[in-house]
Structure 1
Amino acid sequence: MAPKVLVLNGPNLNLLGKRQPEIYGYETLADVADTCRRVGADLGLDVDFRQSNAEYILIDWIHEARETAAAIVINPAGLSHTSVSLMDALAACACPILEVHISNIHRREEFRHLSHVSRVAAGVICGFGTNGYSLALRHLATSLQANPT
């Protein structure tokens, strides 16, 4: 059975392609989901792609992933900079966690430079647009194959 990778997306990413395309591009979240599922299938991964604007729903999905997922890719969006609760939920997961940001958060406003999620993530990919999701999946496919659980 293919390892399950939970790909989570935080607040406002449902507006991808419509909100600030000069920063986030013109791809929609549905486009990103399709790419992630295709890339995941090519790599032998079962990708479960989700988005919520509600912090508690993301936390519930992370709790669920403790029993069901081999890894988590998360774009926490604005919650990166504000949510200790999201960080705590991720810290309770034994599986690898990769943080993805479409823009380079370190070239933006100073408040975006701090990510609580980064403290518990195995790695952070930022500034590569939506390609960051595929990069994360490629890394996980290699690392999960090298270290099966």
Structure 2
Amino acid sequence: MKLLVINGPNINFLGIREKTIYGSKDYNYLCNYIKQEAEKLQVDVDIVQSNIEGEIINFIQGSYGKYDGIIINPGAYTHYSIAIYDALLSVDIDIIEVHISNIHKREEFRRKSVTAPACKGQLCGFGFYGYIMAMMALIEAVNS
């Protein structure tokens, strides 16, 4: 199984920004954690990150025919990017949306995801472990 993890804006600043919300572990830690757990689950994983909406769309479109599933943390684009929503719908791949924090316990504007309806499901509030849960969910989806 081959998965693509797409991280959106500001995820690369983990460990620097809003430590009370996202913790003190940095982006490299997150990537290494995902790769280590993917190896245990016998999953090939590629991880990409961009602060640019169009690049995220290119990652999604580029996944077509190459990956069995996508895990996406669209960051702030979650709340308003119809373009990312459309790209997610276009690839016909199982997709899980992940958020490190519980977006439903935060500011009102963060509680609405325009991208989640294009996904198989959404995980939020489980910290970095949400990415691992998403991998397990995609393994289950592909094997069912």
- Normalising by structure 1, we get a TM-score of 0.94
Matched residues in 1 for 2:102 and 2:94: separation?
A: 22
Gaps of 5+ in 2: none
Work out the CA distance in 2 between the residues paired with 1:145 and 1:30: 30
Structure 1: runs of 5+ lacking an equivalent: none
Counterparts of 1:144 and 1:119, CA distance in 2: 19
1:141 aligned residue: 139
Which portions of structure 1, spanning 4 or more consecutive aligned residues, are displaced by more than 4 angstroms?
none
Once the two structures are aligned, what percentage of the paired residues are identical?
40
Q: 1-side partners of 2:141 and 2:89: how far apart?
A: 19
- In 1, the alpha carbon distance for the partners of 2:71 and 2:18 equals 23
Could you tell me how far 1:142 is from its partner in structure 2?
A: 2.3
Question: Counterpart in 1 of 2:114?
Answer: 116
Which letter maps to 2:122?
V
Aligned length: 144
Amino acid at match of 1:64: G
**Aligned pair partner of 1:66 in 60, 64, 69:** 64
Q: Deviations over 1:27-72 (max 9, x none)?
A: 1111111111111111121100111001100100100101211000
Find out whether 1:93 has 2:52 as its counterpart.
no
Counterpart of 1:7 in structure 2 is 5
Checking the alignment, whether the CA contact within 8 Å between 1:44 and 1:141 is kept in structure 2 is no
One of 125, 128, 131 as aligned partner of 2:126: 128
Equivalent residue for 1:42, pick from 24, 40, 43: 40
**Aligned residue identity for 2:106:** R
